[in-house]
């Protein structure tokens, strides 16, 4: 009850006030957290739920890519989003995920998909420079860039570099906490040469499992 009240008060404060008292973790601390979340939140089994958010992603992606095209999800956790694409006929899939437990759960929960896709099990910071230019027709993230700390922002230019046609970001752009880094991804990716072609504020469209702080953006190269 008390923690709920603290959350409501915290959520309603403007960002410039929150920035004065919230201490965010650094890259090493955040990577350690995501490798094995220790606070009872964000455990892999939780990510098997909320299929609706994967269906939202699928419907958005299907407007821009076709079967047979190459797709990369950064921060795929148990692979619920990738499995939704797989069930819809997208087979050339890759995922980057830092948590070993999440990838193990992916292999149990979605064995057909997990057996056919490419999984990079480690921090995106350590893989992304090795991907060639224009390697994936679509690169997407859902609730991942919001946890990427300032020191790791170099990954954004690589995302723009490796995406051949489209980039989709579905991110919390307003929440601020020890593991939330709010940003406007339109400003970021347009500066990197992409063009935003669709924007959906989740204040206007409700998607179970994603709060109204989220904005879905589609970019093209």
| Smallest distance, ligand SAM to C-beta of residue 1, A | 25
* Spatial CB neighbours of 73, under 8 Å, sequence gap ≥ 6: 81, 82, 93, 94, 95, 96, 140, 141, 142
Give the tokens for residue 107: 């292999």
Q: Are 77 and 99 in contact (CB under 8 A)?
A: yes
**Nearest Cα to 165, choosing from 93, 99, 69, 82?**
69
Nearer to ligand SAM, 64 or 214 (CB): 214
Give CA–CA dist 131/125, Å, rounded.
11
Positions touching ligand SAM (CB under 6 A) are 31, 34, 47, 75-77, 80-81, 96-99, 102, 123-125, 142-144, 147
Taking the least distance from each CB to ligand SAM, the nearer of 103 and 194 is: 103
CB nearer ligand SAM, residue 2 or residue 29: 29
Q: Considering beta carbons, is residue 80 or 158 the nearer one to ligand SAM?
A: 80
Nearest to 90 by CA among 126, 109, 64, 121: 64
The residue among 123 and 160 lying less far from ligand SAM, judged by its C-beta, is 123
In whole angstroms, the minimum distance from the beta carbon of 20 to ligand SAM comes to 26
Nearest distance from C-beta of residue 134 to ligand SAM, angstroms: 21
CB of 166 to ligand SAM, least distance (A): 17
Q: Which residues contact 82 (CB under 8 A, 6 or more apart)?
A: 71, 73, 76, 93, 95, 110, 113, 117
CB of 216 to ligand SAM, least distance (A): 12
């Amino acid at each position: 009850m008390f923690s709920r009240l603290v959350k409501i008060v915290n959520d309603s404060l403007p960002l410039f006030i929150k920035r004065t008292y919230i201490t965010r973790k650094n890259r090493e601390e955040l990577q350690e957290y995501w490798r094995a979340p220790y606070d009872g939140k964000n455990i892999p089994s939780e990510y098997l739920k909320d299929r609706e958010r994967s269906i939202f992603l699928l419907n958005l992606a299907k407007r821009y890519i076709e079967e047979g095209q190459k797709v990369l999800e950064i921060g795929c956790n148990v692979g619920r989003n990738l499995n939704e694409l797989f069930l819809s006929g997208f087979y050339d899939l890759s995922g980057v995920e830092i948590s070993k437990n999440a990838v193990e759960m992916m292999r149990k929960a979605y064995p057909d998909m997990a057996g056919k896709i490419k999984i990079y099990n480690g921090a995106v910071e350590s893989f992304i420079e090795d991907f060639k230019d224009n390697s994936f027709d679509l690169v997407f993230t859902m609730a991942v860039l919001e946890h990427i700390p300032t020191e790791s922002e170099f990954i954004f230019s690589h995302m723009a570099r490796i995406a051949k046609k489209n980039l989709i970001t579905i991110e919390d752009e307003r929440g601020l906490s020890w593991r939330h880094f709010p940003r406007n991804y339109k400003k970021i990716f347009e500066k990197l040469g992409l063009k935003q072609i669709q924007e959906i504020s989740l204040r206007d469209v409700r998607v179970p499992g994603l709060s109204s702080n989220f904005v879905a953006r589609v970019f093209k190269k």
